[in-house]
Each structure stands twice: as structure tokens, then as C-alpha cells.
Amino acid sequence: MSDPHILSEIISEDVSLNLVEPDIYSVYSIGDSPGSYDSVGASMIYDVVACNRFYNWLMWGYSIKDYAPLCEDSLASSSAGWVLDLACGSLAFTAEIYANCSSRPVVFLDQSLKLLRKGKSRLEKLKGNISENMFFLHADALQLPFKANIFHTVISLNLLHCIDDVKTALKEI
């Protein structure tokens, strides 16, 4: 189980964390979820469509096999320091890589609580539990709740095409 005190050390002082369930925290009030993937059926469609290899090849021109090595290389880019997986989704492509990431603290951030739950479930199935250095955070990529200069590595595999204000997102990152 993750240690909330570790997570609270990197959160801005004006942000309150709420425990949604073990290992999942939110910057929103309990029951509040602005994520569009939290609507009925949307999270199911996400894994069926967005995680489909044909969809990725047709829409984006790449193979879903590229995600795991990209994540692995990103994690290997630094031997220490915090990792942020921004808009982590359901960890459909990266859960196996994170299951083997034991030492660096990782924040999996997504605006969808349902996708965070799916990601947590995937990781639990692979590892048996959630390590104390891994945190699932329900928050918005355009309003990151962290203190400045916390992360040594930021991974964001599927975010920029989903938002209207890319400039703001890049400033936040």
C-alpha cells in the first residue's frame, strides 16, 4: 500500500488530498469527477478502442508495441527522483513496465477515476499489491497540484491530442 505522507510532500500546500480508496487519491471532493472518461461506458470504450492496435496504427501511425519500450527508456533516463505518468489512463500499455519499477516513486495521474481504478487493478494483478512508492492521483493535467521542480521524469503517452490548450499543458509540465 502506498504511503500518503510521501505523496503529501510533493503536493502544493494549497491543495487538499482526499483518499478515494486504498492507493487512489484525489484533489477533487469525494464523488466529484470531471473526467470525460468517467461517463457511463466511456472507460469500457477506451480500452476497446483506444487500446486497439489497429486504431493506433490508423489514427496515429504507430504500433502499441512502441509504448512499453518508450516507458522503459523514460524510466531508465534517471536512476533516482520522482516519475510522473501524466494522463496515465488504464496503464494498458505500461503496467508490465511499472510492475518492474521498484525503487523510484511514481505518480500515475489521470482525470478519470475509472481509468485510474483500471490501472491500479492491472498493476495489482501483475505485482500482487501496490508498492508504497506508487500513487494514483485523480487530478487535471492543466492544473497540476504539485510543488515546482519535483519530477525528474515525466511520461505522457496520450495526452496532447486530447486537450485544447497544449500551451498551458506544456507550461504546467
Output the DSSP codes for 69-90: HHHHHHHHT-SSSEEEEET-TT
Q: What is the pLDDT of residue 34?
A: 64
pLDDT at 43 over 70: no
How far apart CA 19 and CA 29 sit, in angstroms, is: 10
How far apart CA 138 and CA 34 sit, in angstroms, is: 10
Q: What is the pLDDT of residue 13?
A: 93
Give the burial class of 50: count Cβ atoms within 10 A of its Cβ; 0-12 exposed, 13-18 middle, 19 or more buried: middle
Q: What is the pLDDT of residue 160?
A: 58
pTM to 2 decimal places? 0.86
Q: When comparing pLDDT for 134 and 39, which is higher?
A: 134
What pLDDT, in 10s, does the model give residues 3-35? 677 888 999 999 999 999 999 999 997 766 666
The owner of cell 503529501 is 8
Q: What is the pLDDT of residue 63?
A: 79
**Which one-letter amino acid corresponds to residue 108?**
F
**Which one-letter amino acid corresponds to residue 68?**
A
Mean per-residue pLDDT, 106-134: 93
Residue 50, H or E segment: none
What pLDDT, in 10s, does the model give residues 94-105? 999 999 887 899
Q: What is the pLDDT of residue 42?
A: 64
First-to-last alpha carbon distance for the chain, in angstroms, is 27
Mean per-residue pLDDT, 72-78: 90
How far apart CA 133 and CA 148 sit, in angstroms, is: 19
Mean per-residue pLDDT, 144-154: 93
Q: What is the pLDDT of residue 158?
A: 73
In this prediction, residue 161 has a pLDDT band, given cuts at 50, 70 and 90, of low
pLDDT at 146 over 90: yes
Instruction: List CB contacts of 19: < 8 A, sequence separation 6 or more.
Output: 4, 25
Kindly provide the residue ranges of all beta strands, DSSP E only, lying in the chain, ordered along the sequence: 18-21, 24-26, 82-86, 106-110, 134-138, 151-155
